[in-house]
Amino acid sequence: MTETLFTPFTAGAIEMANRVVMAPLTRNRADDDTGEVGELHVDYYRQRAGAGLIVSEATQISPQGKGYIATPGIHSDGQVAAWRRVTDAVHAAGGRIVVQLWHVGRISHVDLQPGGAAPVSSSARPAGVKTFTREGFVETSAPRALEQGDIAGIVADYAHAAACAKKAGFDGVEIHAANGYLIEQFLKDGCNDRGDAYGGSAENRARFLYEVVEAVLSVWEPGRVGIRLSPFSPANGISESDPMALYVPVIERLNGHGLSYLHMVEGATGGERYGEYDALRALWHGPYMGNNGYDRALAEERLASGAVDMVAFGRPFIANPDLVERLRADAPLAEGDRKTWYGGGAEGYTDYPALEKA
CA dihedral 350, 353, 355, 358 (to 10 degrees): 140
Does 108 sit near ligand 8OZ (CB under 6 A)? no
| Binding residues for ligand 8OZ restricted to 296-325, rule: CB under 6 A | none
Does 179 sit near ligand 8OZ (CB under 6 A)? yes
89: number of Cβ within 10 Å: 20
Q: What is the CA radius of gyration of the chain?
A: 19
Does 98 sit near ligand 8OZ (CB under 6 A)? no
Does 58 sit near ligand 8OZ (CB under 6 A)? yes
In total, the chain counts a number of residues equal to 358
| Binding residues for ligand 8OZ restricted to 255-284, rule: CB under 6 A | 269
Q: Whose Cβ is closer to ligand 8OZ: residue 9's or residue 68's?
A: 68
Does 233 sit near ligand 8OZ (CB under 6 A)? no
Q: Which of 4, 5, 17, 26 binds ligand 8OZ (CB under 6 A)?
A: 26
- Which residue of the set 44, 68, 181, 247 is catalytic? 181
User: Minimum distance from CB of 276 to ligand 8OZ (Å)?
Assistant: 21
CA–CA distance from 39 to each of 89, 162, 219 (Å)? 11, 23, 28
Catalytic residue at 181?
yes
Asked if 237 contacts 143 with a C-beta cutoff of 8 angstroms, the reply is no
Q: Whose Cβ is closer to ligand 8OZ: residue 57's or residue 322's?
A: 57
Does 68 sit near ligand 8OZ (CB under 6 A)? yes
User: Minimum distance from CB of 48 to ligand 8OZ (Å)?
Assistant: 17
What is d(CA 267, CA 253) in angstroms, rounded to the nearest whole number?
Answer: 22
CA–CA distance from 314 to each of 99, 145, 351 (Å)? 15, 32, 17
Q: How are beta strands 14-16 and 130-133 bridged, if at all? A: unpaired
Q: Name the residues that contact ligand 8OZ, by CB under 6 A.
A: 26, 58, 68, 179, 235, 269
| Residue numbers annotated as active site | 181
